[in-house]
A and B are shown apart, each in its own frame.
Chain A
Amino acid sequence: DGGITQSPKYLFRKEGQNVTLSCEQNLNHDAMYWYRQDPGQGLRLIYYSQIVNDFQKGDIAEGYSVSREKKESFPLTVTSAQKNPTAFYLCASRRSVAYNEQFFGPGTRLTVL
């Protein structure tokens, strides 16, 4: 059963804590993405990776960090420097530069208490 998995589905964090959101894909896709979605808003790009061991900042990278040590994994860390981290986080992948469609995971809802 191929696809993208994200965990956990819901995450609660106290202010000042770092948390890591998991994203795994078994589609053998080259590129992976992290988006943030706020209520009534579209998706905003946080970070993306076109290839293993390389990643680029998106539009709202401040307060976030990522790694891409394996092709199938692209974890996102929300650091204490992110001032307003409460949001819905979506991970996506794309087969390669020759393909346009992105495949999305089910999302993680992060709430800061």
Chain B
Amino acid sequence: SQQGEEDPQALSIQEGENATMNCSYKTSINNLQWYRQNSGRGLVHLILIRSNEREKHSGRLRVTLDTSKKSSSLLITASRAADTASYFCATPRGGGSQGNLIFGKGTKLSVKP
């Protein structure tokens, strides 16, 4: 079952611009994670935001969480060609007690130099 849905499916921007990706989910969660995947590689954890947090920063990344709207956004500021990758949101499955995650289909970001 699909919990998180990213939007847009694909995003193409120029280097230096900001990139914003959105994730919507269906059920109540206690945290939401964002992962990055370079083409043909494994996923890398970027950031986790808890349900009692509204915003979190990590370097050029800013994540927001709106539990009332069941949505999250990932902002990458001053993007670089090296940011080209797919970005996935992941939410806990079934209350999160077993640590299993449900991944969305991802947003494919292309940053042109």
Q: Which residues of A contact B (CB under 8 A)?
A: 4, 6, 31, 33, 35, 40-43, 45, 48, 50, 58-59, 88, 90, 92, 94, 97, 99-107, 109
Q: Which residues of B contact A (CB under 8 A)?
A: 1-2, 9, 31, 33, 35, 40-45, 48, 88, 90, 92, 96-101, 103-106
B44 adjacent to A104 (CB under 8 Å): yes
B31 adjacent to A50 (CB under 8 Å): no
Give every chain A residue within 8 A of B41 (Cβ-Cβ).
Answer: 106-107
A100 adjacent to B43 (CB under 8 Å): no
Q: What residue of chain B has the Cβ atom nearest to residue A6's Cβ?
A: B42
Cα(A42)–Cα(B48), bound, Å? 18
**Nearest Cβ distance between residue A93 and chain B, in whole angstroms?**
11
Which 10 interchain pairs have the tightest Cβ spacing? A104-B42, A42-B103, A43-B103, A42-B105, A104-B43, A101-B45, A106-B42, A42-B104, A105-B42, A107-B42
Give every chain A residue within 8 A of B90 (Cβ-Cβ).
Answer: 102
Cα(A99)–Cα(B40), bound, Å? 26
Known contacts A42-B106, A43-B88; is A101 also within 8 Å of B48 by CB?
Answer: yes
